[in-house]
Amino acid sequence: MPENKTEVIVVGAGPAGISCAITIARAGRKVVLIERGRFSGSKNVFGGAIYAQPTREIFPDFERTAPLERKNVEHKYAILGENDGTVISYQNKHELPVSYTVMRGKFDRWMADEARKEGVVLVEETVVRELIVENEAVVGVKTELEDYYADIVVLADGVNSLLAKQIGLREDIEPKDVAVSVKEVFKLPKEKINDRFHVNDDEGCIYEIFGGSMLGMLGLGFVYTNKESVSIGLGVTLDEFEEHKTKPYELLDKLKQHPVIAPLIKDGELLEYSAHLIPEGGFKKLPVLAGAGVMVVGDAAMLVNNLHWEGTNLAMISGKLAGETAVVALSKHNFSEHSLNRYKIELEKSFVMKDLKTYRNLMDEIHSRKESFLKYYLNKINAFFEMFTSVNGVPKRTLYWNFIKSFFKDRSLKELFKDFFSVIKLLWSILVK
């Protein structure tokens, strides 16, 4: 038996990696979790919210001890024009919150501490350079300092996952299949946050933002409330930055100056700026999820639901399912691709893969009609509400008919038909196929 031999090695101590490692440790198995950062969460960029139900599957009592910021009671959807906007609000004040805002640096560290309590060996500030492959099976990892061997290696090393590429489980990412997310955090007194977002001390509000500085570009913005700070940011696919010859921070600066958004962060003290890549390829860009001695989870597996900005919950569930598969494989002493493919089968049964499959055509369809969906019709929504709320001496019926006629002036029947057909096609793929 080689030195530094354990049963399972997990590479990457984010939500996916920790969920996997803790699941294995709870079954009484030996697991080593390797993290390149100074601590878990140090390399993460996160809006962000965690969803309660998936989190409870890993940490049943997390609300009692986890470093939570606010429970989210209101979700707002802001459709921004150049200097105006339409905001739709949904409030949920149920006894059991759907989601909480967290600061990932704090939350991931808490998860890592919980993993240690369960027997996970956490090795921090250690970079895995490559996988050790023998007889076409992964049997360990090479780090900067030494080699570690294991029966199973789980890759939770993020969106780039150079390790998955090394053994042919992943292809190179195309610019349209990855988004650049940028975020700033502004310090604000709790009282100002409560007043501006109309919430109480422990309550939070989420903004999802369409249009604005991103008009015509494939991307979304966000605002999250923390205890004494506000996070604001956006994510736009990499190919859009190349096409529009703009920079992420330039778009963010414009978003912060928008008249609908600027009052939310007014007089805030900038605490941090961060940027990160987010997988956007979805179902069609999933890698091979399991091979001989290896599984891929979380962002490394491209498990992000881009429409709902869901990534962390998908990561945690994928880690849990990979961990359960590892436990079964260890009990049978079978680490073949066929054995570990149980992970893929269980993932397909879960909401994770079902949701990704539901939205499998979303990005392609929007990309093909992005000028229509992400610019023209967003502007039309704001134009409608401007008309609806105005009093200018013109009869309402005339205003309504003029608004309807404007579609035919702006666009040809052919373009309108293409837009309509694209929507029907997309709805069919979501609701029926």
In angstroms, the Cα distances linking 278 to 176, 256, 310 are 11, 21, 11
pLDDT on residue 43: 58
Q: Over range 133-148, report the average pLDDT.
A: 94
Which position has the higher pLDDT, 176 or 29? 29
Grouping H, G, I as helix, E, B as strand and the rest as coil, residue 4 is coil
Check: pTM over 0.75? Answer yes or no: yes
Model pLDDT for residues 87-106, shown as the tens digit of each residue: 999 998 777 889 999 998 89
pLDDT on residue 369: 87
Q: Is the pLDDT of residue 2 over 70?
A: no
Dist CA 188 CA 228 (whole Å): 5
In angstroms, the Cα distances linking 284 to 118, 219, 228, 313, 341 are 36, 19, 40, 20, 19
pLDDT on residue 320: 98
pLDDT on residue 96: 80
pLDDT on residue 297: 97
Q: Is the pLDDT of residue 207 over 90?
A: yes
Provide the β-strand partners of residue 99: 51
Q: Is the pLDDT of residue 24 over 80?
A: yes
Q: At what angle do helices 351-358 and 342-349 cross, to 10 degrees?
A: 70
Return mean pLDDT, the chain: 92
Q: Is the pLDDT of residue 39 over 70?
A: no
Q: Is the pLDDT of residue 117 over 90?
A: yes
Model pLDDT for residues 302-321, shown as the tens digit of each residue: 999 888 878 899 999 999 99
Q: Is the pLDDT of residue 42 over 60?
A: no
Fold for 176-279, please state it. Answer: D-Amino Acid Oxidase; Chain A, domain 2 (3.30.9)
Per-domain boundaries in the chain: 5-67+103-171+287-358, 176-279, 362-431
Q: Over range 46-61, report the average pLDDT.
A: 89
Q: Is the pLDDT of residue 415 over 80?
A: yes
Residue 214 token pair: 């991103």
Dist CA 10 CA 28 (whole Å): 16
- Cβ atoms of residues 180 and 238 within 8 Å: yes
Dist CA 397 CA 395 (whole Å): 6
Name the least confident of 31-35, 274-278, 311-315. Answer: 274-278
The domain 5-67+103-171+287-358 is placed in CATH, from the list 1.10.510.10, 3.50.50.60, 3.40.50.720, 3.40.605.10, at 3.50.50.60
In angstroms, the Cα distances linking 165 to 147, 151, 284 are 19, 20, 17
Position 48 confidence tier, pLDDT thresholds 50, 70, 90: confident
Contacts of 431 (CB under 8 A, 6+ apart): none
Q: Is the pLDDT of residue 58 over 70?
A: yes
